[in-house]
Amino acid sequence: MIRAVLPFNTIHLRRRRYIELNVPRGPAPAVPDELIYAPIHHLAQAHSSTYPFRMFRLLHVAGLKMLQPRRLTMPSQTLVAAGGLYMALDQDHPDLAYQDLFGDFTSGFSHQFGVALATMIISEAYGVAWDSFVPIAVRGRKVLDYIAPLGGNEGYVQLEAKGVAGSPSAARSDIIAKKVQVRSTLSPQFEPCAMLGVIVSAGRPGSRRRARGRIDIVDPAFGEPPDLRNEALVLANKYLHYVGVALFAGLYSVADELLRRAKLLLQGSSDTTPRTIIVEEASGAFRDWGGLSTVGVQWRLGLEDDPAEDTWFHHGVDLGKLRPIVEKGIVFEADSFHDDRDIISGDDDNVVSVLPDGSIFGISRGPRDGLVRFKRGSDQLSQLDVVRIQ
C-alpha cells in the first residue's frame, strides 16, 4: 500500500502571505466611491492592494464555516474539512495555490477557501462581529451567501463568496447576474446596504499565467436586506453560529440544544430553561490551552495507525465563551476578525488559533493531552459528543 506523507512545517503555516487584492473603482461592477464602500477601499490602500493572511487561520475559518447548519444530520467527514484543505493547498507557495500531488481531488475545495477569505476580509474591513454573518436562505430564488448588520445602525453588508481555480471571469459573471436578479425585486426604500462579491482565485501548478492567487471584489448593485434588527431573529442567528462552533469542537449535545433554541425563536417562541454543561473529568476531553478552559477533539491524517509524530488536527472551544450562552442564554457580541488577534502559540511542533467566537484550532506534530481522539468512519456527527448538558 502506498502511503502519501505530507511534510509538516509550522513556518509555512504561520508565515504571513500576501495575496493580490483587486478592488477596482468606477461604475458597476467595480466598487463605487460611496461612503458605505469606503472600508473596502481603505483596506486595499492600507495593505497596498494585497491581503495578508496566515494559512493556519484560513484552515481554521474554512473548517468552522463548513459546520454552521440548520440541521445536524451531517456526515462526520465534514468535521475534517480543514484537513482536506490542508492537503489540497500548496503550503510552500508564496500565497495561495493548489497542490499538484492529488490532481482533480483538489478542485472540490474552492468553495471552502473562498468563503473563508471572503468572511475574513469583510469582517476586518467593516468591523463586523464574527458571529454576525447570517447565511441567507435560498427558498427557490437567487440570493447572496451571507448578510451581516453593520455597527451603529449604519446598514448592512451582503456577501457572495466564490473560490475558483484559474480565471475569475466566470465567477464574476455569475455574481453580477445574481445581483441583477436580486435588484429587480427590490423596493425603492431600504437601509444602506453594500452588496459585495468576493472572488478568490487559487494559482494552478505549472501555470505561468495563473501561478499566483488573487482576490477580486466587485459590486454591481445595492439590495434590500431582510430585517436583522428584530431581537429574536438576531439571537436565533447567533445561536445558529454557535451550533457550528459546538460541532467543530465535537459537542453534539450542545449543538442540538442551541439549534432547538434557534428554531423556537424563529417560530416566535423561546425556552429559557437553565442548562448546565457537564465535562466528565474521566473523558479526557478537557485541557488548559493558553489559559483557556478548553474542550474538544483531535484527529490525524491517514486511516491506518500512524506514528505519533504525524500531523494531528485539534478542534476545541473556550468554555468561558460557551457556558454563558448555554447556561444563561447570554450571547456577548464577538469582536471582528483580525489576522494577528488571538493566536495562542506557534513553534516548530504546533500552531494554535483562536477566533473571536471562542473556537480553537491547532495543528501539531503528534497528539496532545486533554482532547478526545476522534476516529473517522461513523456516519453522523451525533456519534461524537465530548460533553453532556443537563
Q: Take residue 66 and report the three cell numbers written for it.
A: 463548513
- What residues have CB less than 8 Å from 54, skipping those under 6 apart? 13, 14, 15, 16, 17, 339
Max CA separation in the chain (angstroms): 64
Cell 473517522 belongs to 376
pLDDT at 103: 57
| Residue 226 grid cell | 431582510
Write out the three cell numbers for 301: 491524517
Are 65 and 116 in contact by the 8 Å Cβ rule? The answer is yes
* Cα→Cα distances 55→95, 149, 336, Å: 9, 28, 19
Q: How far apart are the first and last CA of the chain?
A: 47
SS3 208: coil
pLDDT at 203: 85
- The sign of the torsion formed by the CA atoms of 366, 16, 201, 183 equals positive
Runs of H (alpha helix) within the chain: 10-14, 38-46, 55-65, 81-88, 110-126, 169-183, 231-248, 252-266, 319-328
Relative to beta strand 156-165, strand 193-202 is parallel
Closest CA to 5 of 298, 302, 376, 205: 302
| Residue 269: how many other CB atoms lie within 10 Å | 10
What is the per-residue pLDDT for 185? 47
Predicted local confidence at residue 222, as pLDDT: 47
pLDDT of res. 31: 87
Alpha-carbon gap, residue 123 to 125, rounded angstroms: 6
The residue ranges of the chain whose pLDDT is under 50 are: 1-2, 183-189, 222-223, 282
Classified as helix, coil or strand, 115 is helix
Q: What is the model's pTM?
A: 0.86
**Which pLDDT does position 227 carry in this prediction?**
56
Question: Kindly report the CA angle at 56 between 51 and 62, in degrees rounded to 5?
Answer: 80
Q: Give the pLDDT confidence score for residue 195 in this predicted structure.
A: 84
Measured CA to CA, the distance from residue 13 to residue 11 in angstroms comes to 5
Residues forming a β-bridge with 75: 380
pLDDT of residue 187: 44
> Is the peptide bond prior to 307 cis by the omega test (within 30 degrees of 0)?
no
Residue 158 region by backbone torsions, left for phi larger than 0, else alpha for psi between -120 and 50, else beta: beta
Contact partners, residue 154, CB within 8 Å, separation at least 6: 36, 192
Query: What does the pLDDT read at residue 383?
Result: 60
